[in-house]
Amino acid sequence: MMKTPLTLRPMFEYATTYFPDQQIVARQADGLTRRSYRDTGRRVRQLASALAALGVTAGDRVGTFLWNDAAHLEAYFAIPSLGAVLHTINLRLPADHLAYVINHAADRVLIVDRALWPVLAPLRASLSTVRAIILTGTGYVGEPDPPGTLDYDTLLAQGDPAFAWAELEEDQPLGLCYTSATTGYPKGVLYSHRGIYLHSLGLGLANTFGISADDTVLPIVPMFHANAWGLPFAAFWFGAKIVLPGPAPRPAVLLDLLRDEQVTVAIGVPTVWLALAQELERRPAPLALRAAICGGAAAPPALIRRYEKIFHIPFLHGYGMTETSPVATVARLKPSHRDLSEEAQLRVKASQGMPLPGLTVRLEREGRDVPWDGEAVGELCIQGPWIADAYEGDARTAETFRDGWLHTGDVATIDSEGYVRLVDRTKDVIKSGGEWISSVDLENALMAHPAVLEAAVVGIPHPRWGERPLAFVVVKEGMAVTKEELLAALGPQFARWQWPDDVIWVAEVPKTSVGKFLKRALREQYQDYFAPR
């Protein structure tokens, strides 16, 4: 067989050759732009030639500091077309982490949304490797661009629309993304062309997300976090219409886009789907969604039920992490699940599901394999062609990548059908009197209560039990519930010793940069809650 290199180049060429008239719709602060794949392809080549003129060559890193917009999508293809590395920078990192990741990656050029410039400006002097800064976007009006920066559109206009892609090897790096660490600075994961190619194919499979030219996709998940789950690469390759929600999209904006563009597939974290559900209840709209894809944190069964039963929108739960490109498992029903009761099917849909074809998973505890009986817990380990094998220049590699497996730091069970069910992140498991309590199970049960909008449960040090669960609950607007009612609702599903010792009413659960519950903040703030007075 031919050894055709698995790179982004044939993906880009296929998309622009076979789907030239397909559309990319991008929201900016001042409205929507619509461009064909043909025009986007031309702009990608122009951007690549402009970057080359700035001295970017193979192996160089180019950082993007952008929302999900047209320039970001162009950068997704233009930077790797030179053999350079697309470093997507998380906009919401604290300043010292931002400086760390840009310097650690050794970014030579940064492409920055004008409206976000005030975040980077104070760091400019400390960015030792950056030679050029390109500004784009219409969000920042009133002041001239800062001295020494370049304008994206001017550069593009000077670029060569016929600029040729570099010869690429499949194992060379295409992208770089940093993932947050529990302690210390973020850790960098390098993606190869081959990994992204195979991962993208994975997203196109009918067994997975089935992304095709019939779809209109909306990546709500940011393109600065794990490549928006790889959707931009896959959707472009397969000729889907792509809708990019632009700067800081609010639920109302997202709902308008879902309705006006008749989006068929959207991807987001549970908190986004929760906010959208609230919006949809306020403002029912005719939608064309064939899949509400949810991952990044556990999808509460109550949320899945709400979408499927009330809005009649199929809900698809997946799991992954930056280190897995990121999609690793998807919870689709198998034929053997079809005759199960609705409740039992919901339990399957709320699990993390089966690995994508091409990946292998196992559970490990104290160095040994854990049986697939749906009961025994162990750390989830993954292998496969789009699973990272190291952190970029980081001593923490050895903790996570051992014996040819990625050790995910997630504690799970696997049932006899091969369905993974995450019990917790290793760091979130609550250890009470030598027994484990799943914070995720408690959260799901609390969020199933009709008056509860959000619930997070964390383990707080306890003088007698080591740790005890403490619940943080956000009540829905206009509703009320007492602690006793809530705990009673946990009812038969939990033993009494597993119940949270107390419920703290909060206006909001603190969130990470991508909208996951930030349990560390709660643990730190309440660490003395059970301390003897």
Taking the complex as a whole, how short is the minimal distance between the CB of residue 248 and ligand ADP, in angstroms? 19
Binding mask 183-222 for ligand ADP (x = CB under 6 A): ----------------------------------------
The region of 136-144, 166-174, 289-297, 452-460 touching ligand ADP under the rule CB under 6 A is: 289-297
Residue 298 binding ligand ADP, by CB under 6 A: yes
Which parts of 16-55 interact with ligand ADP (CB under 6 A)? Answer: none
What is the β-pairing status of strands 420-425 and 405-414? Answer: antiparallel
| Residue 392 to residue 292: CA distance in whole angstroms | 33
| Residue 266 to residue 258: CA distance in whole angstroms | 8
Taking the complex as a whole, how short is the minimal distance between the CB of residue 160 and ligand ADP, in angstroms? 37
Tokens (6 digits) for 188 = 């960098």
Among 70, 156, 297, 437, indicate the residue that binds ligand ADP (CB under 6 A): 297
Among 92, 425, 511, 520, indicate the residue that binds ligand ADP (CB under 6 A): 425
Among 124, 259, 407, 516, indicate the residue that binds ligand ADP (CB under 6 A): 516
Annotation says 436 is catalytic: yes
Which of 271, 322 has the CB closer to ligand ADP? 322
| Residue 497 to residue 493: CA distance in whole angstroms | 12
Binding mask 495-514 for ligand ADP (x = CB under 6 A): -----------------x--
| Residue 484 to residue 104: CA distance in whole angstroms | 50
Annotation says 431 is catalytic: yes
> Contact, 401 vs 407, CB < 8 A?
yes
| Residue 108 to residue 186: CA distance in whole angstroms | 19
- Cis omega (within 30 of 0) for bond into 326: yes
Among 200, 408, 432, 439, indicate the residue that binds ligand ADP (CB under 6 A): 408
10: phi then psi, degrees, rounded to nearest 5: -65, -25
Q: Give me the half-sphere count of Cα atoms (radius 13 Å) on the Cβ side of residue 233.
A: 33
The region of 52-60, 73-81, 211-219, 293-301 touching ligand ADP under the rule CB under 6 A is: 293-301
Strand order in the sheet with 187-192: 149-151, 132-136, 107-113, 61-65, 85-88, 173-179, 187-192
Residue with tokens 């162009």: 74
Alpha-helical runs (H) found in 296-341: 301-305
Q: Please tell me which residue in 74, 323, 392, 443 is annotated as part of the active site.
A: 323
Which of 81, 271 has the CB closer to ligand ADP? 271
The region of 65-73, 160-168, 239-247, 405-413 touching ligand ADP under the rule CB under 6 A is: 405-413
| Residue 515 to residue 185: CA distance in whole angstroms | 19
| Residue 190 to residue 393: CA distance in whole angstroms | 10
Site size toward ligand ADP, by CB under 6 A: 20
Which of 38, 425 has the CB closer to ligand ADP? 425
Taking the complex as a whole, how short is the minimal distance between the CB of residue 408 and ligand ADP, in angstroms? 5
Which of 14, 436 has the CB closer to ligand ADP? 436
Binding mask 305-344 for ligand ADP (x = CB under 6 A): ------------x-xxxx----------------------
Binding mask 161-180 for ligand ADP (x = CB under 6 A): ------------------xx
Query: In which region does residue 49 sit, left (phi positive, over 0), alpha (psi from -120 to 50) or beta (all else)?
Result: alpha
Among 47, 86, 130, 422, indicate the residue that binds ligand ADP (CB under 6 A): 422
The region of 154-162, 255-263, 282-290, 292-300 touching ligand ADP under the rule CB under 6 A is: 292-300
Residue 295 binding ligand ADP, by CB under 6 A: yes
Q: Please tell me which residue in 169, 308, 397, 436 is annotated as part of the active site.
A: 436
Q: Give me the half-sphere count of Cα atoms (radius 13 Å) on the Cβ side of residue 449.
A: 26
Annotation says 17 is catalytic: no
Residue 361 binding ligand ADP, by CB under 6 A: no
Distance, first Cα to last Cα, the chain = 73
Residue 382 binding ligand ADP, by CB under 6 A: no
- Neighbouring CB atoms inside 10 A of 152's CB total 21
> Contact, 266 vs 289, CB < 8 A?
yes
Q: Please tell me which residue in 431, 435, 482, 497 is annotated as part of the active site.
A: 431
Among 226, 240, 292, 316, indicate the residue that binds ligand ADP (CB under 6 A): 226
Residue 410 binding ligand ADP, by CB under 6 A: yes
Residue type, 494: F
The region of 167-175, 244-252, 296-304, 388-396 touching ligand ADP under the rule CB under 6 A is: 296-304
The DSSP element (H or E) to which 459 belongs, if any, is strand 452-462
**Long-range contact set of residues 283-289: C-beta below 8 Å, sequence gap at least 24:** 283/252, 283/255, 285/255, 285/258, 285/259, 286/259, 287/258, 287/259, 287/262, 287/263, 287/311, 287/313, 288/216, 288/262, 288/263, 288/264, 289/258, 289/263, 289/264, 289/265, 289/313, 289/314
In the complex, which residues of this chain contact ligand ADP (CB under 6 A)? 179-180, 226, 295-298, 317, 319-322, 352, 408-410, 422, 425, 512, 516
**Residues taking part in catalysis:** 179, 323, 431, 436
